[in-house]
Structure 1
Amino acid sequence: MTGPAAKRIRDAALSLRGKRVVVAGLGFFGGGAAAARYLVEQGADVLVTDLRSEQDLVDSLRSLEGLELSLQLGSHDTTDFVEADLVVANPAIPFRSEYLQACVSADVPLTTEVGLFLAAFPGRSIAVTGTSGKTTTTTLIGEMMSNAVPDTIVGGNMGVSMLPQLASSNEHTTAVLELSSFQLRYLDMMAWRPDIAVVTNIAPNHLDVHDGLDDYVTCKQALLRHQTSGDIAVLNTEGDVWHWETGPGVERRGFGLSPTDRPGVYVEGERIVRRESIDREICGLSDLTIPGRHNQANACAAASASRAAGVRLDIIAEVLVTFQGVAHRLERCGVVNGVAFYNDSIATSPERTMVAIDALDQPIVLIAGGSGKGLDYSDLGKAIDRAVKHVILIGETAGEIERSVSGPVVECASSLEQAVRRAVDAAEDGDAVLLSPASASYDMFTNFEERGLRFKDLLAALQ
């Protein structure tokens, strides 16, 4: 969407005083509450509506205390949506929802919490998307940029709203954002573009919400769609992403686990190397503290983007060799009786669990399973057969995963607590217990963070 329609969305997100704005989906992660607070502060007449009950949303509602707004809980009213001047949708609401489609039919502008931020943000933006590696890459870029440019803010699809930081932002501020496919769908509608776009990789995901793989990929490609001459696209040179179209005059830089002749940052032998007019080593692979080939790729992506933003190589190197990783992403949580425990609760797709399995070089006791997203587990089954000694499955997808496995011992547990107990019994000195569910968390937990924290609590009790 470009031209007048995109401009109308941007204008609606900026001209809020006295306007009727619906926040659709308060949710649990803070974005809905942050959007509501910002809208009230901007003088909008705000209605927050959510299909969940007041009891379900008690913590989120507490963050709205003191704000002058209206609430519609337990149901939506289509009239509220079609009569609004702007609807700010929780990106987790499927776009095919009858209420959002009513907005589309009525030509009501639609955006999200991050769309509100980006419509008003005056500075430079570096945005990261992809199927996996987004948060680690975004966090690395954020640390590199912050060390070079103190006026740097980091956020997006990371559980913390950036709206409170708008007031202190100016044209010299750099925003580093992780963006999901859901958020990018709406940013595409307002023709937003980042100064530097980073795409880590692409694989099937979220097919329970998207209308197939093509729709998912199209949303991801929106990060590049509106870039113009002078912008930079940092793309994985291995796989389909490098072949994605970029606009005229957009500079393309690469990254990957194998060197190419394209400008960028790559793994070359046992080194991470910047390839430009003169090749320069940034650091050795053995200097990285985060494990796995996937994290080597994340390091290259972050380094390539930060170099594109003008960060010095010594600053990039310092961050890479000191970075300890991000919680719930192949996070080493401790050792009990010679067994290492890893929390990879972020692994909500088979591909992410396959990456985690490949990253560990000791015998693995795998805890997997959760709620489904319409994904295929056949390749995961092959990876488990190849490298896992014992599997403990939980949740809705336990049966699907079990049918894909033919080699190791497989057993099912009724809860994460029971799964951890059985993993402890199955593991021996020198093994690794890996929580990497290959599934979403919503059948047992509010989100993957809650699942990961529960795993760490169970480990702490063992210690």
Structure 2
Amino acid sequence: MGINFKDARVTVMGLGRFGGGLGVTRWLLAQGAKVILTDLATEDALAAQITDLGTHANLECVFGEHREEDFVHADVVIANPAVPMPWKNMYLQSAWRAGVTVTTEIEILTNQLNRKKVIGVTGSSGKSTTASMIYAGLQSACVPCLLGGNIGGSLLTQLSSINSETIVVLELSSAMLWWLEKNGGWSPSVAVLTTIEPNHLDWHGSFDEYKSCKELLFKHQSEDDTSLTQDAEASFEGLLLIGKHNERNAAVAFLAAISAGADAKRVRKGIQEFRGLPHRLQYVCDGFYNDSKSTTPTATKLAVDAFDDADKVHLIVGGYDKKIGLELLAKQSERVACMYAIGATAPALVEQCLREVIQCASLEEAVIRAMKNMKEGDVLLLSPGCASWDQFANYEARGELFCELVTAAKTNQQVH
């Protein structure tokens, strides 16, 4: 879908908190488009992003609401992939009925990339870490590369730095893949699928729909492309990261990087030296780990699996209800020293767990109660297995608060 954005009337649906809306808005303005940026969040809630964006003669901002006229009178609408069930969204429906082109930031980007130089990564868990491991391996092998997509930010503003040798690593969500397929379909030359388990059913409506969207990553590949899936039995020695699941991530990341032509020895070294991402089994201090990015029960199980003695783990779980089964998450209560449940899913977890679970009104309460119960050698792990949106703006805010609470509590212990 080639679009000339010069003088085009473009509505950007969602500034967002992760940089995609910000990046595409800047890029559109640089192309000469006349942009209306609209977001349901208030100006106060988006203060930091608005300050970062600044002002422009061709930019109009609408916060706290969407206006139908901004969607039906536009030449192009840039949809936010995070909007659930877009086929039911009244504003997008209005745009489609009016014959307006509706696209996404990721489609604009992929249209301008040589797909033969793209590695795409998707999966229910591990996709951010795997994409980052690929990137670390390529960097170690001195391969020009960029990392973008669902992991945050927009690569549109970096297009000028991409040349014929650059490898682009994209983390792709199921929603991004749905949008790419709706407008004709696209697949990278090297496609990596980590895992598939029930997730984002609030967006897709059913597990079958979610699964089919994940598998779209491979649909438009050709015979000379590379398709990789995670091996459940894979191992990878020498990692700084803990957990068998990270060995599986590393193994498929290694294969992806060498499939793109990188030197195997250097790739291995880069992956081994990778220190991990914030909020993914992040070491806070001795005995305390922040795994706030865990938004599925499977991710929480993998986090618990990473510790040799699960019965020494005090586990904080719960959060926003994505309408997925919580049985696996509840089952972790039988393995750990104690489970603490927070958020909207807490009552359901308390009901489903066979062992006693301590229901807490907040993350603050959970940390306090857990630290009182911990014995020498025990571990406190925040690995919610649920999204954060019931109590926090995002999983980063949840993880940052956990780190702050732990640091403050440890400092207070030292003082006394």
TM range (shorter): over 0.9
Q: Does the alignment pair 1:440 with 2:391?
A: no
Q: Which amino acid aligns with 1:390?
A: C
How many matched pairs? Answer: 403
Greater strand percent: which structure? Answer: 1
Q: Does the alignment pair 1:317 with 2:268?
A: yes
Q: Does the alignment pair 1:399 with 2:347?
A: yes
CA contact (8 A) 2:79 2:103 kept: yes
Q: Does the alignment pair 1:334 with 2:324?
A: no
* Match 1:111 to one of 93, 99, 103: 103
Q: Does the alignment pair 1:227 with 2:227?
A: no
> 1:373 matched to which residue of 2?
322
- Counterparts of 1:17-32 in structure 2, within 5 Å, are 17-32=6-21
CA contact (8 A) 1:128 1:177 kept: yes
> 2:94 matched to which residue of 1?
102
CA contact (8 A) 2:141 2:267 kept: no
CA contact (8 A) 1:369 1:395 kept: yes
Q: Does the alignment pair 1:160 with 2:153?
A: yes
> 1:11 matched to which residue of 2?
2
> CA separation in 1, counterparts of 2:185 and 2:354?
48
| TM-score when normalising by structure 2 | 0.93
User: Which deviations, in whole Å up to 9, do the C-alpha atoms of 1:229-280 show, x marking residues without a partner?
Assistant: 32111123xxxxxxxxxxxxxxxxxxx143xxxxxxx43xxxx4xxxxxxxx
Query: Secondary structure, in 3 states, of the residue corresponding to 2:256?
Result: helix
User: Which deviations, in whole Å up to 9, do the C-alpha atoms of 1:64-87 show, x marking residues without a partner?
Assistant: 213231122222222321232211
The farther-off stretch of 25-34 and 434-443 is: 25-34
Identity of aligned residues (%): 39
> CA separation in 2, counterparts of 1:417 and 1:151?
43
> CA separation in 2, counterparts of 1:377 and 1:318?
38
Displacement of 1:202 after TM fit? 0.3
CA contact (8 A) 2:138 2:270 kept: no
> CA separation in 2, counterparts of 1:108 and 1:144?
42
| TM-score when normalising by structure 1 | 0.84
> CA separation in 2, counterparts of 1:412 and 1:345?
18
> CA separation in 2, counterparts of 1:399 and 1:144?
43
The farther-off stretch of 445-454 and 142-151 is: 142-151
> 1:202 matched to which residue of 2?
196
* Match 1:90 to one of 72, 80, 83: 80
- Counterparts of 1:155-194 in structure 2, within 5 Å, are 155-188=148-181, 189-194=183-188
> CA separation in 1, counterparts of 2:232 and 2:44?
49
Displacement of 1:122 after TM fit? 4.2
CA contact (8 A) 2:140 2:269 kept: no
CA contact (8 A) 1:30 1:159 kept: yes
Q: Which protein has greater RCO, CA pairs closer than 8 Å, 6+ apart?
A: 2
Q: Which amino acid aligns with 2:44?
A: Q
Query: Secondary structure, in 3 states, of the residue corresponding to 1:388?
Result: coil
Q: Which amino acid aligns with 1:322?
A: E
* Match 1:303 to one of 231, 250, 254: 254
CA contact (8 A) 1:207 1:213 kept: yes
Give me the CA root mean square deviation.
Answer: 1.6
> CA separation in 2, counterparts of 1:395 and 1:41?
42
* Match 1:48 to one of 22, 27, 37: 37
> CA separation in 2, counterparts of 1:231 and 1:297?
22
Displacement of 1:330 after TM fit? 1.1
> 2:414 matched to which residue of 1?
none
Greater helix percent: which structure? Answer: 2
